[in-house]
Amino acid sequence: MSVLDRCEKFLEEVQNHLRDELLPFWLTHGVDKEYGGYLTYLDRNGNPTGETVKTHLCQTRCIYTYSSIHRAGIGQGEFLKIAKQGVDFVLNKFWDDEYAGWYWTAQQDGTPLNISKLTYGHSFAIYALSEYGMASGDPRGVEWAVKTYEMLQTLAADNCHGGYYEFLERESHGLARERSVALAQEAYQWLLGVPGLDARLAVLDEKIPHALAHLSELEREEVIVNLLDLARTDHGVTAAEQRVRDRVRALLR
C-alpha cells in the first residue's frame, strides 16, 4: 500500500470516528443538566464517574469545541446551544468579579474551589470565547475575550523581563501593584543610561502609564517621591534631568 493510500485510509477512519462516534457521544453526553456547564469525567458509556470537579480549562475547551463544530456546519444549531449554556455557566461561576480573572476549579454547582489564576487557563478562555463569538454572533464572546486579554496584560505581564507570570494568587492585583512600583523605580535607574533625552522620554511614555495603571492616588504620590529622589544628584539636577522629572510627574498624575 502506497503512502497516499495509507493516508486516505487513515483520513476515512478519522472521519468515520468523528461523524459516527465522537460527535454523537458529545451531543448527548457531557452537559450538566442540573447546574449547567459540562461534566467531563465520564465512563466509556457516557455515564458520570462520580467526580464532579469542574476545571476552567475543560469548561473552556468544551465551549471551543462545540462552537467550532457549529462553525463547521454540523448539528443544525444543537452544538451551538450546548456551547451557549457553557458560556453562561463559565461567565456566572468562574469569573472573579472582585479581583478579575478566572478561577482554576469549581464544584459541580460552580462554587469556587481553587481560586488561584493560571495564565495557561486564561489563554483557553480567549480561544473559547473568540470561537463562540464567531459561531454565534453573541457580543459577549468578543467582549469577554478582550476582557481576559486586558486582564493578562495588566496583571500577568512581566514588564521587567518579558513574557507572563504563570501563577497568580486570587488577589493578583496586589502583586501587580508591587511589580508596578518596582518597575517604575527600576526603569528610572536604567533610564539615565539611555542615550539621548528624546529616547528617555519615549521610554517613559511607553512604560510608566501601563505599569502603574492600578495604583491609587496615594500610591502614585509615593512613587513620584521615589522617582524624584532617584533623579537628585549631589551636583544638582541638569536641564535634561529636569525634563525627565517633569515628564514622570505628568505621566503619574
pLDDT tens digit at each of 253 positions of the chain: 888 888 999 999 998 998 889 999 999 998 999 999 999 999 999 999 999 999 999 999 999 999 999 999 999 999 999 999 999 999 999 999 988 999 999 999 999 999 988 888 899 999 999 999 999 999 999 999 999 998 888 888 776 677 777 878 777 554 544 554 555 555 555 454 555 556 655 655 665 665 555 555 555 555 555 555 555 544 455 666 666 666 666 655 5
**Cell match 468523528: residue?**
18
pLDDT of residue 236: 52
pLDDT of residue 106: 96
pLDDT of residue 163: 77
190 three-class SS: helix
**Cα torsion at 137, 82, 145, 219 (round to 10°)?**
130
pLDDT of residue 177: 47
Secondary structure (DSSP) of 58-119 = HHHHHHHHHHHHHHTT-STTHHHHHHHHHHHHHHHHTB-TTT-SB-SEE-TTS-BS---EEH
pLDDT of residue 174: 42
What whole-number distance in Å separates Cα of residue 11 and Cα of residue 96? 43
CB-based contacts of 54-57 (< 8 A; 24+ apart in sequence): 54/105, 54/106, 54/107, 54/108, 54/110, 55/104, 55/105, 55/121, 56/90, 56/94, 56/102, 56/103, 56/104, 56/105, 56/106, 56/121, 56/124, 56/125, 57/104, 57/120, 57/121, 57/124
